[in-house]
Structure 1
Amino acid sequence: MSAHDTGFLTAVPAPDDEIEGLVAGVAPEEWQILNTREAFYDRHDVTETIATDPAPSARVAVYAVPLDGSTMPHSAAPVLLSYVDVVIQGYLAVFGPEGVRRFAETTDGWDDAVFIDDRAAPRYPRAQLLTAEETALVDTTLAGLGVVPVRA
């Protein structure tokens, strides 16, 4: 899988908007491993924009699609359903069903992207097994956004 054949979700600059997420500690010696894992994204320091209690004691970064759009979803770079499954499963675990709803409502590009249903043979390297309830939530969320994944 390369940055040119798969589309990814991303955070985009929007000064008046907020996104829900987690701040995870990364040991200094582990940054290179994380940078390699997130190689399709650019790393941005967002320490000064984080609203947490207490304030972060270390630098905080977010990984986002490069501004050149090289990993933005389009017909030749579809979004994998196995990837969306992981993202929504994570939002559900941390922020509950309302967090999934907020994520769906505040994420752009649902109507611009092609989604590939690769659940039978996941192409996303960190694909996870979802429960029947989680799968139904993903499917219902996407249907509510007008997304109809194409079978792989």
Structure 2
Amino acid sequence: MPGRDLAFLTAIPDPEGVIDGLIAAVAPEEWDTLNTREAFYDRHDVSQATRASRDSAPGPGAVALYAVPESRSMAPHDAAPVLLSYLDVVAQGYLDVFGESGLDRFLETTDGWEVPFLDDRAEPLYPRAQPLAPDTRDRVDAALAARGRVPRRP
């Protein structure tokens, strides 16, 4: 994306698609902070397209999704790769919340595996990087290898 040296993961509209996700309550006074953190994304109201699981009880208010606008989107490339520390956080989140089948669905339904990845695990560049459980790291590495991807080292 112009103005960024790193790639973003984003949702792409697909009328036939379904993704696992979470609905997080955001207090009115917290929207400015969240919008600042997600400044490279546009916020979209997806209330009508959201199908809550039977275990969830969304409260009142709109459901929003942040996505990179197509006009500012660019494919990751050698100078702007996907950070492995970023992919790790996403993978760990899917595993923690949706279990192994959720992580598998994420890996199977995500496009763009042909792009460059940067292995920044030793010194993460992603500001919200988290330590990754060894078995999850192995699953991420196996998923990349199965798609012919070997992250380059910094």
Does 2:44 match 1:44?
yes
Q: Deviations over 1:62-111 (max 9, x none)?
A: 01112124354223211000000000000000111111111011111111
- CA drift at 1:55: 5.8
TM-score in terms of structure 1 length = 0.92
1:75-86 → structure 2 map (5 Å cutoff): 75-86=78-89
1:107–1:15 CA distance, 2 compared to 1 (3 A): same
Q: Give the match's secondary structure for 1:20.
A: coil
Q: State percent identity of aligned pairs.
A: 57
1:69-80 → structure 2 map (5 Å cutoff): 69-70=72-73, 72-80=75-83
User: Which residue number corresponds to residue 151 of structure 1?
Assistant: 153
Farther off after superposition, 128-137 or 24-33: 128-137
1:1-152 → structure 2 map (5 Å cutoff): 3-52=3-52, 53=54, 54=57, 57-70=60-73, 72-111=75-114, 113-152=115-154
- CA drift at 1:142: 1.6
1:71–1:4 CA distance, 2 compared to 1 (3 A): farther
Quick one: which amino acid aligns to residue 92 of structure 1?
Answer: L
1:3–1:95 CA distance, 2 compared to 1 (3 A): farther
Number of equivalences? 150
- CA drift at 1:145: 2.2
1:138–1:20 CA distance, 2 compared to 1 (3 A): same
In structure 1, stretches of 5+ residues that fail to align are none
TM-score in terms of structure 2 length = 0.90
Residue 23 of structure 2 contacts residue 58 of structure 2 at CA under 8 Å; is this kept in 1?
no
- Deviation beyond 6 Å, 4+ runs, structure 1: none
- CA drift at 1:3: 4.6
Root-mean-square deviation (CA, aligned residues, Å) is 1.6
Quick one: which amino acid aligns to residue 91 of structure 1?
Answer: Y
